[in-house]
Amino acid sequence: MLPYFLGCPSWSEPAWRPSLYPASARNSDFLSLYARLFNAVEGNTTFYARPSAQTVERWARLMPAGFHFCAKLPRDISHGGDLRDQEVATAEFLSLLAPLGGRVAPLWLQLPASFGPHRLGELLSWLDAFAGRRIAVEVRHPDFFAKGDDERLLNRHLRDRRVERICLDSRALFSCTSSDPAVLHAQSKKPRLPIRPTAFSDSPQVRFIGGPDLDANQVFLEPWLDKVVAWIEQGLTPHVFLHTPDNHLAAAQAIRFHQSLGERLPGLPELEPEAPQLGLL
C-alpha cells in the first residue's frame, strides 16, 4: 500500500492507449485499468455534469476499496451564488455519490476567482453544514494569496475545521513558450497564483499543472518531492495529482513523480505491478 495518494485529472484518456492501457481497451475498461495503477483521481467530471445513478453504481463496482475519488462539487453549486443557498443541492449530490462510500475523500469545493474575503461567511456556514465530511477547498481570489489578514483569517478557519486548502501549482505550465493549441488553451484556462503548500489536516492536497515537456517540468517538481517526503515522514497522507496541457502525458508524469519519490524514500512500493506499463517513460 502506498503511503500517499497519486493520480491524474481523470481515468478516461484514449491517448493512454497503448502505453498505459492495452490497444484493445474500450472506454468502459479505462476505470478498472486506471485503478490497478493509481489509487486516486480528481473528480473533474462531476464539476461539469452530475453522473447518473447507474454510472455511480458502476463506479462503485470498479473502484477498489481504499481508492479515493476526489469528487468536485458541480459548478452550479460552487459557482451558483450564495453557498448558504446550496446546502440542499449539496446534500442531494452527496446522496447521489453515496454508493461510493468512503471513497469520496475528500470532497472538493473549487471556488471561482470572484469568491473573495467578503464571502468568507458563506463558505464557513457551508463547511459547518457538512462538518462530518472530509472536505478540501480551492480558492482563487488574489486577496487569499496576499499574505495579509484575509489570507490569515481564511487559513485559520480552515485549519480549525481541518479542511484542506488545495494547492494548485501552475508554474511549469506558464514557464513554457509554445504555439501548441493544447498549451495555449491550458494557459488561458488555468489560474496563475502563488503557491501555498498547506497541511491543515492529515491529507494535504496538491494539483501540479505541468507543461508538455516532462524533463522541463522536473525542476518544478523537485520541491514537491521534498515536501511530499516530509509530509509522509510526519505521518500525513498527501494527495498528489499531475496534469499536462491535454493530459496525454499526465499518467507518464505521475509515474515519473512516483519513481523520483522512490529515490528519496527507500522501500517505497512500486506502482501496482500487474497494471500494464508499456514504454510510458
pLDDT tens track for 244-277: 999 999 999 999 999 999 999 999 998 864 444 4
Sign of the alpha-carbon torsion through 171, 175, 176, 180: positive
Phi then psi for residue 107, to 5 deg, are -75, 135
The set of residues, in sequence order, having a beta carbon less than 8 Å from that of 154 and lying 6+ positions away, is 117, 120, 139, 144, 165
User: How do residues 143-188 score in pLDDT, each as one tens digit?
Assistant: 999 999 999 999 999 999 999 999 999 999 999 999 999 999 999 9
Do 104 and 60 touch, CB atoms closer than 8 A?
no
pTM, two decimals, is 0.94
The set of residues, in sequence order, having a beta carbon less than 8 Å from that of 163 and lying 6+ positions away, is 127, 135, 136, 137, 200, 201
